[in-house]
Structure 1
Amino acid sequence: MPQLLGLLLFSIIPLLSVFYLSMASWDGLGPITFVGLDNFIAQLQSSDLHIALLNTLFYTIIAVPGGLFFALLIALGLNNVRGKTVYRVLYFMPFITGSVAVGVIWSFLLNTDFGLFNSLLRSVFHAKGVGWLTDPRFVIPSIALVGIWQGLGFNMIILLAGLQGIPVSYSEAARMDGANKFQLFWNVTLPMLTPTIFFCTVISILSSFQVFDLTFILTGGGPGKDSYTMVYHIYHLGFETSTFGPASAAAVILFAILLAITAVQFRLQKRWVNYDV
């Protein structure tokens, strides 16, 4: 009963409230006025939403493959290492560190004038500093780099658990057949790891589409609107302009997009995910 009450209070009621407010006009204080689908029509025609969606897609395209690639490399490297528990803790620390702390640290590292990255560029390569968080060309990749770093430990631990679950007999049989390390990875390890990779992919895409804290702390959606993401758009509408109807409509649109992407992923998993162990 307590679990059901918690689900009702913290999940179902807020979700239903968002759907209701998406078809209403409300400033947070005055009366709620029903407006039908006007909020959805306005949001679908909004250039701000289009910019936010494109920026979010750009972030996701960088953060998801990059995060999974480096997490898999580290997991493979730690698979047969002694004391891997210590490494798990070390790599997992950024994930459990507050995003505010992560954002503040990386804002100093990526600072145009005195950041570590630009200091290395100037002192080692004698190159000009890069506006990591101020140049429209680099702002999304820079935020994605921070996101990859922060989420690396989570994906690595999941993938490492998947590697530990692969029966040793498969590898031994492949070695007896003369398979080298690459063939062993490509024909044995990777196919057996596809369910874990699929899980990490789904979670990573959902997380990337909801990126907000890093953009809020590092850039505030700037420069201009070059790091203005979907959740930042929802935040801006709801808490900076007090237009909770359009904000809720944008949230429902994001929910529909994520639902569609997840459905497509589950539909396509049959083509590449191997559940036969």
Structure 2
Amino acid sequence: MNRLEEVAIPITLDPNLRLIAGTGETLATANMAYARKKRLMKQFQELTADVVVIDIGAGTSYHALDFFLMADIHLAVATPEPTSVLDLYRFIKLAAIRRVLSCFLAHSQMSDILSNRDFHSVEEVMTVAGATDTAGRDTAAAVLQSFRPGLIINRGSDSSRVNVLYLRKILHQYVGGDLMLVGEVPEDPSVPQAIRKFLPVIEAAPTSLAAKGLFSLATAVERLIAAHVGRTNEEMKQLEETKTAIVFAKTEGAPPLPASTPVKSEVPIVSYASTTHNIAEPIRQIDGKVR
């Protein structure tokens, strides 16, 4: 099979849900070539769906970072344990560095300088970029300003909390980005019980605290998607208005303008990366054909 559409499996829980299972058991898929990864990303964007949700999983490999950054909405999942929070900080820091580097590597002037260096902080990238191009630092700052991943707390409890304000302060100070709290799934014995039954907790125990947390979380994510779609539609409208203004401004006797390519409304893609392997439940309750 050559296309993702061909391997999308319907899920009995909801007729609008389809699942594309990963195949991470082979070295070939674990070490995907760059060209193959780009083709896969393109196919994600071409899926016939209202919403695509990608589970990145744990880790900070190039593949994990690139699939995380390709999305329109970025979500990171962490537990309150200090090791998980530290992994979360490390992942977001590396994602921010990768995002800034990707912006500069598209320009040949920066490509040779930045592509062969190993950066440990966003500040290093901004310093080198600013030394090469006077506008480089401002460009990096603009890219970081638009990078605001969402945080999902898994297995939260009254005795174990994540200091989100402190984490946001550290990220702003050392990474230059920001973080928003999207929601929390509380610690709940219903989750391991559902796992032993090979059932989603929202099906095995729909009134449990974890299930209620997931429903609230899904509503929050749905709002993020609606806001993204609204911004995208507004940008498309402004682009079309600009094209119309250009047509009206064409002077008499001037050569005809080339036909403009219609703007394609892309499928909103949500990526969520986990800094722990103990995920209570993937996001499910979002209106759409693929979730």
**Relative to total residues, which structure has the larger helix share, 1 or 2?**
1
Q: Tell me whether the two structures share a fold, i.e. TM-score over 0.5.
A: no
TM-score, with length taken from structure 1: 0.32
**Relative to total residues, which structure has the larger strand share, 1 or 2?**
2
